[in-house]
Structures are given as structure tokens and as C-alpha cells.
Amino acid sequence: MQYAVFNIRARSLLRGTVLVVGSVVLALVWGGFPNVHASLLLLVPVFLAAYGTWETSRCLRPRWSFYHGGVLLLLYADVLALALIVFLLLYPYARWLQGQ
């Protein structure tokens, strides 16, 4: 018996959620939070979070149900996490925001 998490062709909410949460943790560690520094390594969590968001969006169903609503909530959380990672990537390059 093979689990859907390990099968790339199968839909899996768990795989998408783990990718997004893992990429947020990775971005916080690699970005040096709370003293954020410039690092192009943060491109890796951006792509992982985008792939995780796509994986979550594959689980949407055509008709509305509570499952569909839960997947939409997860998609909103994924977009929020993706925005956080992009902010951590771009903030060190915006010198005018830091007052320098």
C-alpha cells in the first residue's frame, strides 16, 4: 500500500501543507530572522512554497462542500506564507525602507 503523500501523481493536502510550512521555517532560518540579512538561498523556499500552494490547489473540488471550504482556507494560508517568504527575500534589498 502506497500513501498518497509519496505518490507525486496523486493529490495530497498533507504534502502541500508540509511543503509550505517547511519552506516558511526554512526561510526564517536562512533569512536570519529577526535580524534579516540578504540571502539568495531564500529563492529555494519561494519555489517550494509555490509548489506546495499548487499541490493544495489540486485538491479543490468542482462543487462546494465543507472540504472545499477547508481547502480554500489552506490556500489563503499558503498565499500568506508565500507573501511572508517573498518579503523576507526582498526586504534586505530595500534600503529606503530601512532609512539608509
Q: pLDDT truncated to tens, each residue of the chain (100 aa)?
A: 577 777 777 888 999 999 999 999 999 999 988 888 888 999 999 999 999 999 999 999 989 999 999 999 999 999 999 999 999 998 888 876 666 6
* pTM, to two decimals: 0.87
Q: Which residue has the cell 500552494?
A: 53
Locate the domains of the chain by residue range: 13-98
- CA separation for the pair 61, 68 (Å, rounded): 6
Q: Cβ distance 20 to 49 under 8 Å?
A: yes
Q: Cβ distance 9 to 1 under 8 Å?
A: no
**Nearest Cα to Cα of residue 45 among 91, 88, 93, 94:** 88
pLDDT of residue 99: 65
- The DSSP call for residue 2 is -
